Structure 1
Amino acid sequence: MKLLPLVILVLNSFCAFSKIPHEIVYVVGCFQNCMTDVQFEFDGEKILYVDFEKHEIEYKVPGFIELTPSEVFGDMNVYKNAIKANKSCPLALAYLIIEEKSPPEANDPPENVLYPSEDVQPGVENSLICFVNNFYPPSIKVNWTKNGLPVSEGVSLSRYYPNDDQTFHQFATLKFTPREGDIYSCTVEHSALERPITKIWEPDLSYPSIGPDVFCGGGLALGFFGVAVGTFLMVKGHHGQ
């Protein structure tokens, strides 16, 4: 006989018999063999239970309590409520069995990439895109910083889009104007992450000198010219023989 989790309800704590607080606990136990156990406990000791076969309440009152149990619990509709609990147990068991067979779906942590939408030119407005991919459930939080300080202006977040593997992707965007030395970051928070993940990006505004390129281009042109002249002279000499 397998006992599924008990539904336990603490009804009250009181000081009726002494200055020390006492606790009454109402317990409903649902079993897979369609049996239901309904009982009251006083400071951890059973003081009554419901016998569904006899259709009555059985009392097990500790000796130190000098009260008539029926007088104490008479106004609590114990048996009536036990019948309701007995009828509810099959539904509760069915729900628990379904939950055991269909555990919650596993969460998938996101991955993110940070890149500019256009070629970066100094002083020309651009957009940074934080592409967040392969996450489930579809709920993320994205925070931006510039030089270590939070940024909220020029920020937008697209709707989430489904992937073929039942995960999702989303785009976060930050409008910015490239300046030398600026550093930007995109931080993503998600329920599947133990800690947020952060990507950092800074504009590369250094351009190489054109001298070597011109020199290489000129040298290459002269080389082709020399090969052409040499070939022309060889052909001319061959025909002149």
Structure 2
Amino acid sequence: EHIMDQAVFCQSENPRGEYTQNYDEDEMFHVDLDKKESVFRLKDFTDYTSFDAQGALGIMSTCYYNLNILRTSWNISAGENVAPEVMVYPEDPVQLGEPNTLICLMNSFFPPIINVTWLKNGKRVVDGVGETDYFPTKDQSFRKFHYLTFVPDEKDEYACSVEHYGLEKSPVVKLWSADVPSPPSEAAQTVVCALGLAVGIIGIIAGIVLIFKGMRQNRDFRRGVN
């Protein structure tokens, strides 16, 4: 079973709202409300489908109108703030000196208002960053991804700093650094070599003992036969 749906939200704070169409919870496209155009997640989608952004803009206008009525004419309290679950991980297996992308995932939060800052060794990074839209989930919460392109170095420490209304202590900071095993020290290599040599000598001695034991058993057997 596959599900195609459209997701719409509007609110009084930035971002003012969002319109997306999704397939099995993966975004196919969203409408850029400022540029008033449809933006497909994959360019290949435009080969077999299209969407007139004016339809989404009309839906958003209705959403803003209804929101204003609810705020001014009805005694409706704001929704409960739900803090995001935050994870930081690399897109590809880490190799020092090889370009990669760090991903900061914020999941299961509400409302869809969140501020994210990337840090490298404690300093803010603005180059090589990117982000997705807010992805709605079945439980009426949202998830969002932020990206940072980087070249791993064992001396560097990266952090994804997240601010949200639901966090008791804001911002929450998730750290990441390249976890590359250190080469063994010379002392450790010497110990390993010594152990290997000792095991080899023990194996040789055991082999010689078994050979002599076999020769003795064979000699005793011949004497018994004679």
Structure number with larger C-alpha Rg: 1
Q: Which has the higher contact order (CA 8 A, sep 6+)?
A: 2
TM-score by length of 1: 0.46
